[in-house]
Amino acid sequence: MRLIYLDNNATTPVDPEVLKEMVPFFSVYYGNPSSPHRLGQEAKQYVKKARNAIARFLCCQEEEIVFTSCGTESNNAAILSALRTTGKKRIVTTSTEHSAIQELCLDLEKRGVEIDRMAVNSLGLIDLEELEKKINEHTAIVSVMWANNETGVIFPVEQIAKICKERGVLFHTDAVQAIGKIPIDLSQVPIDFLSLTGHKFYAPKGIGVLFVRKGSPFEPLIRGGSQEMRRRAGTENVPSIVGMGKAIAILSQRMDEENKRIRALRDLLETRILSEIPFTKLNGDREYRIPNTSNICFKGIDAETLLLDLDQKGICASGGSACTTGSLKPSKVLTAMGLSPLDAKSSVRFSLGRHNTEEEIQFAVDEIIKSVKKIRKTMPKS
């Protein structure tokens, strides 16, 4: 059966060019970058090359890139470090962060850390005046995601970073869903910490980055060896680091052109669904949005039922964050935006990627229309 993958915010396939670049690092250049012999030093050179590609892409210095195991680890490392280095016990964040921040904050709250979650409006955006009011002398760090994984809504990170800098407070952003979709220039935005993960931009799972600005206080989450300039212990995942470097090199060449194409496909999908299926509504701001994401409420339809039906036709989409699938609870992101639990449970996220074609999108929409009609027919009339 053909597969139409519209769940690229959950994960992306490894790009064949990335995979090709990685393969020799499993069995030919398998040295440990900390080993002084030639095999080790060779591996070290390739880690350096990847670090350089990533730093150039983000407009920062090589030494500011710390390789981690994933986005979740990067988020945990940034927040926990800020609590330790500042000795303060207050975090300002939003109510629509990924569980990699939300769950950490819930745990910290139980341990006596005060968590101040900014509300979002019906479009998923925060009020910067509220942020100004929430920052005080007890604030250890402000953490606001760059783009939301469920709605694609982009937060005004440039302005938030500026506010934090003026107020002398550390600022972290989870840029896991932003990279490759919008420009990130760390020479222009005073961010202290930024989290990335490879598997959202065609690199493998299990490799992440934490950008740590030179001069910003940082204490490692994982201690042991002296890797990553003593900021993250553990032998480097060389094949995946090399893969991430290649994935970034591909983004550097194709990002603008690729996003134009993906945006056109996303708009085609969205426009057709909203105009051809009655009682549908877009969730989140239409304008301040990454180009690949569309979150749509199909009023009265149980999203799980729709997703199962689509899955049987080979169409993969999602009810929200992959990390909360199966929780049977309505999306926290959508309910924070004011959607009723019923509408939140009727919402589906379509997230497009590099491999989607127009023909796939037209086919997927035709099938979505048929599925919705079928499900609505079986629903009791109210």
Which residues are annotated as catalytic? 323
Provide the minimum distance between the beta carbon of 146 and ligand PLP in the complex, in angstroms, as a whole number.
8
Residue span 301-340 as binding mask against ligand PLP, x where in contact by CB under 6 A, dash where not: ---------------------xx-----------------
Which CB, 13 or 300, lies closer to ligand PLP? Answer: 13
Interaction of residue 258 with ligand PLP, rule CB under 6 A: no
Residues numbered 107 to 146 that lie near ligand PLP (CB under 6 A) are 145
Which CB, 301 or 303, lies closer to ligand PLP? Answer: 303
Residue span 182-211 as binding mask against ligand PLP, x where in contact by CB under 6 A, dash where not: ---------------x----------x---
Whole-angstrom Cα distance, residue 67 to residue 74?
A: 9
Phi (first) and psi of residue 253, to 5 degrees:
-85, -35
Provide the minimum distance between the beta carbon of 77 and ligand PLP in the complex, in angstroms, as a whole number.
12
Contacts of 241 (CB under 8 A, 6+ apart): 46, 47, 50, 51, 67, 207
Whole-angstrom Cα distance, residue 246 to residue 20?
A: 10
Provide the minimum distance between the beta carbon of 20 and ligand PLP in the complex, in angstroms, as a whole number.
23
Whole-angstrom Cα distance, residue 242 to residue 252?
A: 15
Whole-angstrom Cα distance, residue 366 to residue 372?
A: 10
Provide the minimum distance between the beta carbon of 99 and ligand PLP in the complex, in angstroms, as a whole number.
8
Tokens describing residue 223: 């201690």
Q: What one-letter code names the amino acid at 207? A: I
Q: Where are the beta strands (DSSP E) in 149-298?
A: 170-174, 193-197, 208-212, 280-282, 293-298
Provide the minimum distance between the beta carbon of 168 and ligand PLP in the complex, in angstroms, as a whole number.
26
Instruction: Please name the residue that has the structure tokens 């969730």.
Output: 283
Binding window for ligand PLP (CB under 6 A); candidates: 82-90, 173-181, 256-264, 330-338: 173-181
Residue span 206-245 as binding mask against ligand PLP, x where in contact by CB under 6 A, dash where not: --x-------------------------------------
Which CB, 176 or 251, lies closer to ligand PLP? Answer: 176
Which is nearest to 46 in space by CA: 28, 35, 65, 33?
33
Interaction of residue 100 with ligand PLP, rule CB under 6 A: yes
User: Cβ distance 37 to 378 under 8 Å?
Assistant: no
Whole-angstrom Cα distance, residue 230 to residue 221?
A: 10
Neighbours of 370 (CB within 10 A): 13
Provide the minimum distance between the beta carbon of 379 and ligand PLP in the complex, in angstroms, as a whole number.
32
Which is nearest to 376 in space by CA: 282, 276, 301, 277?
301
Please state the separation of Cα 132 from the chain's center in Å: 25
Which is nearest to 187 in space by CA: 167, 169, 161, 166?
161
User: Cβ distance 321 to 331 under 8 Å?
Assistant: yes
Which CB, 333 or 368, lies closer to ligand PLP? Answer: 333
Kindly state the helix (H) or strand (E) to which residue 351 belongs, with its residue range: strand 347-351
Tokens describing residue 261: 């194409």
Q: Which of 76, 94, 143, 177 binds ligand PLP (CB under 6 A)?
A: 177
Which CB, 71 or 330, lies closer to ligand PLP? Answer: 71
Q: How many residues bind ligand PLP (CB under 6 A)?
A: 14
Residue span 41-80 as binding mask against ligand PLP, x where in contact by CB under 6 A, dash where not: -----------------------------xxx--------
Binding window for ligand PLP (CB under 6 A); candidates: 43-51, 174-182, 229-237, 241-249: 174-182
193 DSSP β-pair partners: 172, 212
Which CB, 174 or 192, lies closer to ligand PLP? Answer: 174
Which CB, 145 or 221, lies closer to ligand PLP? Answer: 145
The residue ranges that bind ligand PLP (CB under 6 A) are 70-72, 98, 100, 145, 149, 174, 176-177, 197, 208, 322-323
